[in-house]
């Protein structure tokens, strides 16, 4: 079901429901108004007959103006004595004859006894229903107490057939229902036009979206419709821009990964060929070839591990909730310092933790170790013998700051904005033997951001490099585990 069809059908159904409620209420009002008006006519008729009969009691009906009223109301009039017996009855020619069957006896039983003492009150008796070939019909009956010339008290009754009122009501309702039907049809036609016109910019936008070929960098033309449609078009174009960026990033990623994989694979293949040709007879060829193959396999394994870690960071990585204490950080930095001294005894490696005992960091120990190893490894690779590497932790502006600083060769200013990009390597002064695949800093950045932190690098060629990481300290609600 299309949006256009739903808008049309729901709007028309809503209008029809409102119109049905209005029509139902108006129908009740028409019926009640008609019956009330008819009752008022019968009341005037009853009072006139009663007044004339009281003035000239010898011939109570002939001396009244009853016929003038009866011709309008199609009614009948009857006098009942105190015993409930009819003493005088008159009717118009239009009064239904079949209604008399059982009517007088029914009225005699329903006349109010107390009414004979209330000459100024008019009582409406229960409607009398009679049958004729066209179905059931009702009579509206009004009664008023009356005193005969013999001082006997009885009742004057006026009987009006509601069939006349029902015909008037039916006529008015036919007009009302006809107007409702015409209004509903006109409304449906108008809704169809309004919806089609209102959705035409959206339809044009959909056609434009269908015609876009994102791999050709097509974009939607800015529509001239409502602001909402323009906003949708701008959002679609922004989405296409992000898709282009993602595709371009994926293309570069695949190209860079392929390049990184191709070199060690080529080295392995080359040494394998050497072994195949001369390795069986020449031991001096066999040993370095195997050593180089093992080295390149290790490099490949490291590259694959880092690619998998990057993929995990982007998809289903769940930050740990371990609360690291000051002593945990102190132990970790001391361990890293000892490892660094073993690898580079020609460097001065320092580690300092300046935090209070109550300070906690919500972070996985292995994740923090991974970050610091990456930064420490970079610092040691690019710091000459006799240089210094510092590991420091302190509190700065309410956040826990980690600092890894070295006195190495530094990084050119033009390269600093890209050092955390994947597969990016600063070419100057960095050879394959010292440089990795360009994934370490990207992994460090993603891990830092996964824990709500920020990472920033400051460097100057010839004066070393400093990396700052800032993390929010643990609150009382954070972390459920103590390391």
Looking at the structure, tell me whether residues 351 and 478 fall in a common domain: yes
Residue 115: the pLDDT is 47
Mean pLDDT across the chain, nearest whole number? 81
Q: pLDDT at position 116, please?
A: 46
Share of the chain above pLDDT 70, in %: 84
Number of helices (H) and strands (E), helices first, in the chain? 9, 13
Report for 66-75, 229-238, 276-285, 386-395: range of highest mean pLDDT = 386-395
User: Do 361 and 307 belong to one domain?
Assistant: no
Domain span including residue 272? 227-314
- Confidence (pLDDT) at 83: 77
The pLDDT of residue 9 is above 50: yes
Span of 191-205, 306-320, 330-344, 394-408 with lowest mean pLDDT? 306-320
Stretch among 24-28, 147-151, 171-175, 181-185 having the lowest mean pLDDT: 147-151
Cα distance between residue 391 and residue 334, in whole Å? 9
Give per-residue pLDDT as tens, 202-255. 777 777 777 777 566 667 777 676 777 778 888 888 888 878 777 777 777 777
Q: 219 lies in a domain?
A: no
Dist CA 143 CA 154 (whole Å): 10
Give a yes or no: residue 191 inside a domain: no
Pick from 272, 248, 252: nearest CA to 260: 252
Q: 391: helix, coil or strand?
A: strand
SS3 71: helix
Q: Give 410-430 pLDDT, tens digit per residue.
A: 999 888 888 888 777 775 444
Contacts of 435 (CB under 8 A, 6+ apart): 381, 425
Q: Assess whether 397 and 470 both reside in one domain.
A: yes
Provide the pLDDT for residue 431: 44
Q: How confident is the model at residue 61 (pLDDT cuts 50, 70, 90)?
A: low
Interacting residues of 351 by C-beta distance below 8 A, sequence separation 6+: 333, 334, 336, 337, 390, 391, 392
Based on the fold, state whether residues 447 and 330 are members of the same structural domain. yes
The answer on pLDDT for 93 being more than 90 is no
Distance, CA of 460 to CA of 331 (rounded, Å): 31
**Tokens standing for residue 90:** 């008159």
- CA-based radius of gyration for the chain: 51
* Same domain assignment for residues 238 and 305: yes
Question: Is position 155 within any domain?
Answer: yes
Region 176-199 average pLDDT: 89
Q: Residue 393: pLDDT band by 50, 70, 90 thresholds?
A: very high
466 or 320, higher pLDDT: 466
Q: Which residues does 224 contact at the CB level (< 8 Å), separation at least 6? A: 201
Q: Is residue 57 part of a domain?
A: yes
Beta-carbon contacts of 85 under 8 Å, excluding residues fewer than 6 positions away, are: 108
Dihedral pair phi/psi, residue 401, rounded to 5°? -110, 130
Provide the strand spans (E) within 116-194: 122-132, 135-147, 153-161
Q: Please give the residue that has the higher pLDDT: either 227 or 473.
A: 473
Across 139-143, average pLDDT: 89
C-beta atoms surrounding 316 within 10 Å? 7
Close Cβ partners of 370 (under 8 Å, ≥ 6 residues apart) = 443, 444, 447
Q: What is the pLDDT of residue 3?
A: 77
Total of domains in the chain: 3
> Token digits for 116?
């004979």
What is the domain-level CATH number for residue 282? 1.10.287.130
Residues 30 and 105 grouped into a single domain: yes
pLDDT at 75: 84
Average pLDDT, stretch 63-82?
74
pLDDT beyond 60 at 57: no
Residues 34 and 140 in one domain: yes
Band of residue 455 on the pLDDT scale cut at 50, 70, 90: very high
Give residue 152's pLDDT band: very low, low, confident or very high (50, 70, 90): confident
What is the three-class DSSP state of 223? coil
Mean pLDDT in residue range 455-480:
83
CATH number for the domain including 72? 3.30.450
- Same-domain status, 441 and 471: yes
For residue 361, what is the domain's CATH number? Answer: 3.30.565.10
Residue 470: the pLDDT is 96
Residue 479 has pLDDT above 60, yes or no: no
Q: What confidence category does residue 386 fall into, taking pLDDT thresholds of 50, 70 and 90? A: very high
Q: What is the structure's pLDDT at 273?
A: 82
In this prediction, residue 239 carries a pLDDT of 81
Q: Per-residue pLDDT for 28 more than 50? A: yes
Of the three residues 150, 171, 192, the one that is the final residue of a domain is: 171
pLDDT digits (tens, 9 = 90+) for 279-336: 666 767 777 777 778 877 877 787 777 777 777 776 667 888 889 999 999 999 999 9
Would 48 be classed as within a structural domain? yes
Q: Which of 271, 292, 314 is the last residue of a domain?
A: 314
Residues 27, 133: one domain? yes
202 lies in a domain? Answer: no
- Per-residue model confidence (pLDDT) at position 428: 42
| pLDDT at position 197 | 80
Do 380 and 475 lie in a common domain?
A: yes
Instruction: Tell me the backbone φ, ψ of residue 160, rounded to 5 degrees.
Output: -120, 125
pLDDT of residue 429: 42
Measured CA to CA, the distance from residue 329 to residue 346 in angstroms comes to 25
In a domain, 179, yes or no: no
Q: Beginning with the edge strand found earlier in the chain, give each strand of the sheet holding 135-147 in spatial order.
A: 86-91, 76-80, 153-161, 135-147, 122-132
With residue 475 as reference, give the H or E element that holds it: none
Which pLDDT score, from 0 to 100, does residue 337 have?
93
Tell me, yes or no, whether 376 and 342 share the same domain. Answer: yes
**Same domain membership, residue 368 and residue 290:** no
Among 253, 286, 314, the domain-final residue is 314
Q: Is residue 359 part of a domain?
A: yes
- Cα torsion 143, 148, 151, 154: sign: negative
Give the C-alpha separation, 117 to 146, whole Å.
9
């Amino acid at each position: 079901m299309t949006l256009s069809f739903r808008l049309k059908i729901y709007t028309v159904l809503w209008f029809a429901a409102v119109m049905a409620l209005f029509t139902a209420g108006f129908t009740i009002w028409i019926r009640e108004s008609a019956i009330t008006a008819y009752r008022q006519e019968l009341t005037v008729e009853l009072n006139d007959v009663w007044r004339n009969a009281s003035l000239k009691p010898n011939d109570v009906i002939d001396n009244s103006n009853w016929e003038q009223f009866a011709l309008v109301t199609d009614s009948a009039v009857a006098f009942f004595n105190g015993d409930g017996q009819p003493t005088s009855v008159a009717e118009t020619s239009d009064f239904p004859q079949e209604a008399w069957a059982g009517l007088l006896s029914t009225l005699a039983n329903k006349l109010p006894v107390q009414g004979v003492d209330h000459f100024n009150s008019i009582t409406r008796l229960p409607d009398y229903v009679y049958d004729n070939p066209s179905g059931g019909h009702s009579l509206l009956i009004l009664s008023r107490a009356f005193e005969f010339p013999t001082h006997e008290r009885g009742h004057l009754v006026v009987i009006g057939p509601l069939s006349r009122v029902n015909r008037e009501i039916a006529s008015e309702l036919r007009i009302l229902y006809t107007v409702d039907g015409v209004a509903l049809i006109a409304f449906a036609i108008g809704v169809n036009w309004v919806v089609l016109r209102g959705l035409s910019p959206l339809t044009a936008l959909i056609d434009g979206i269908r015609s876009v070929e994102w791999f050709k960098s097509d974009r939607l033309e800015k529509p001239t419709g409502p602001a909402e449609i323009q906003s949708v078009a701008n959002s679609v174009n922004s989405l296409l821009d992000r898709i282009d960026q993602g595709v371009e990033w994926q293309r570069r990623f695949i190209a860079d990964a392929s390049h990184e994989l191709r070199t060690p694979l080529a080295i392995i293949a080359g040494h394998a060929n050497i072994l195949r040709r001369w390795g069986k007879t020449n031991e001096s060829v066999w040993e370095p070839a195997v050593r180089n193959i093992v080295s390149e396999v290790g490099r490949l394994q490291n590259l694959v591990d880092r690619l998998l870690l990057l993929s995990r960071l982007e998809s289903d990585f769940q930050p740990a909730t371990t609360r690291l204490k000051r002593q945990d950080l102190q132990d970790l930095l001391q361990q890293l310092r000892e490892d660094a001294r073993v690898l580079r005894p020609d460097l001065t490696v320092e580690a300092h933790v300046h935090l209070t005992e109550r300070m906690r960091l919500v972070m996985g120990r292995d994740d923090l170790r991974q970050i610091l190893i990456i930064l420490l490894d970079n610092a040691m690779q690019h710091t000459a013998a006799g240089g210094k590497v510092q590991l420091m932790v302190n509190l700065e502006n309410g956040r826990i700051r980690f600092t890894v600083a070295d006195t190495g060769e530094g990084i050119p200013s033009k390269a600093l904005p890209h050092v955390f990009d994947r597969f990016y390597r600063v070419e100057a002064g960095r050879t394959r033997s010292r440089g990795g695949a360009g994934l370490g800093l990207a992994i460090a950045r993603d891990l830092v951001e996964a824990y709500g932190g920020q990472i920033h690098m400051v460097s100057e060629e010839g004066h070393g490099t400093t990396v700052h990481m800032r993390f929010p300290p643990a609150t009382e609600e954070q972390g459920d585990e103590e390391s």
